[in-house]
Structure 1
Amino acid sequence: MKKLLAGAAALVAICSHQGALAAQATKPCLSNSEFQSVAVVLLPVLHSQAVTSCKAFLPANAGLLVQSAELTARYAASAERERTAAGDILARLLAKEMPVPMSGSAILPFIEGMVPALLAQEIDAEACEVANNIWTAIAPLPPENIASTLGAILLAASKDKAEDGKAKENRRSLDDFAVCPYVATAQVSGS
């Protein structure tokens, strides 16, 4: 699961606090809804960079690469609705790491600019194959469902990491981030 989803790794990386969180006794986590807001906003950037990075590793008809512009545009429309909430979440999450207080609207463009570089560091042929297979399966879903799926994958992957007993010297900054444990619930139709 180490390279389960390069896009998910980038989402985690932008929310981690290199070194500072490692020193804290309890690892902070985002609720499922907080993670979903941030993930929906970053989905267009993640998708666009995954397409760019994986072109070298995937065939032209790979699901990740097909209709990429249309998918990115669809994700961007949903991202606009979540920008304020996601910015506020990131501002709160990163408040102790900033030399001066910053608003969510100021932090968000900075984070969006970091994602492509962080994602590019995690991309290789294996990661692209896994990302393609997962993304192809979930691409028809609404962006909010894609974000929730990524959160569930990260939660499962974090449990695998804990069981692996990963050595401290092999830790990456994204290992200090967590999605809070939750139980997904179904909504009753008509309510």
Structure 2
Amino acid sequence: MMTLSRKVFLAAAGLALAQVQMAHAAECLNEGEVGSLVGYALPSVIEGAMTACKPHLAPTGFFATRGSEFAGRYASRKQANWPGAKSAFLKLGSAKDPSLNKTIGALPDSALQPFVEAMVSEMVGGEIKPDQCTAIERGVRILSPLPAENTAELITFVLVMADKPKAGKTSSLPICKAAN
């Protein structure tokens, strides 16, 4: 059974973007690409979590009072993370349909970025169960004092360390062996 923190970290990394593609991905992601994907996806992950959890949390809680400011700190770093995140996103989609992936890769960033962001936010919101909201809000509140780059690096570290295939199970994210 996957722990709540593992689900949140996986969502943060945008794993939900292409679960089927990841299972068959020919290329692995290096740690830098994972970090860029995490850094780029975090604002959308936070927004998706806040939207999904709003009806289940106190109006005086962290998401209600400081969530938008928190997400904004990560949004300011999105452009710096985009090149690596785009590379990771395209690698994740390459095995499923190379021709479609080539078409998507040819889109201008101004068209592709909003698509990726909306998809991440919706997928995260759809995966969160109401009974997880208090724990998710607490986890975000605990991370909030860290600078944005440290939070993304910490989540990347956890993903890389946790991405060790276990007996009878394949890796959940195609991270290059040298990274972990």
Map of 1:93 onto structure 2: 92
Indicate the residue corresponding to 1:187 in structure 2: none
Q: Is the counterpart of residue 39 in structure 1 residue 44 in structure 2?
A: no
Q: Does 1:115 align with 2:120?
A: yes
Following the alignment from structure 2 to structure 1, what is the Cα–Cα distance between the partners of residues 7 and 55? Answer: 15
Distance in 2 separating the partners of 1:61 and 1:149: 27
Matched pairs, number: 170
Deviation at 1:29, TM superposition (A): 4.0
Bigger Cα displacement from structure 2, 84-93 vs 40-49 = 84-93
Q: Give how far 1:51 is off.
A: 1.0
Query: What is the TM-score normalised by the length of structure 1?
Result: 0.71
* Structure 2: gaps (5+ residues): none
Alignment match of 2:166 (pick from 159, 162, 177): 162
Q: Quick one: distance in 2 between partners of 1:37 and 1:111? A: 13
Pick the structure with more helix per residue.
2
Structure 1 CA distance, aligned partners of 2:28 and 2:90?
Answer: 14
**Do the aligned partners of 2:28 and 2:91 also contact (CA within 8 Å) in 1?**
no
Find the counterpart in structure 1 of residue 3 from structure 2.
2
Q: Which runs of 5+ in 1 are unaligned?
A: 169-174, 184-191
Aligned partner of 1:12 in structure 2 is 15
Aligned counterpart, 2:136: 131
Alpha-carbon offset, residue 162 of structure 1: 3.0
Instruction: Decide whether aligned partners of structure 1 residues 58 and 85 sit closer, same or farther in structure 2, where only a CA change above 3 A counts.
Output: same
1:88-126: CA deviations, max 9, x gaps?
Answer: 332233233343312472544322121122112211134
Contact 2:29 2:91 in 1 (8 A): no
Cross-structure match for 2:78: 79
Kindly provide the amino acid, as one letter, of the partner of residue 119 in structure 2: M
The TM-score, its normalising length taken from structure 2, stands at 0.74
User: Any conservation in 1 of the 2:56–2:133 contact (CA below 8 Å)?
Assistant: yes
Match of 2:146 in 1: 141
Moved more, 99-108 or 47-56: 99-108
Deviation of 1:37 after TM superposition, in Å, equals 0.8
Aligned residue identity for 1:99: S
Contact 1:45 1:115 (C-alpha < 8 Å) held by counterparts: yes
Distance of 2:61 and 2:175 partners within structure 1: 29
Deviations 1:15-57 (A, max 9, x none): x341x54357xx8542222111111111111111111111122
Could you tell me the percent identity over the aligned residues?
25
In 1: Cα distance, 2:140 partner to 2:55 partner: 17
C-alpha distance in structure 1 between counterparts of 2:93 and 2:45, whole Å = 20
Change (3 A) 1:88 1:180: closer
Distance change >3 Å, CA 21–CA 88, structure 1 → 2: closer
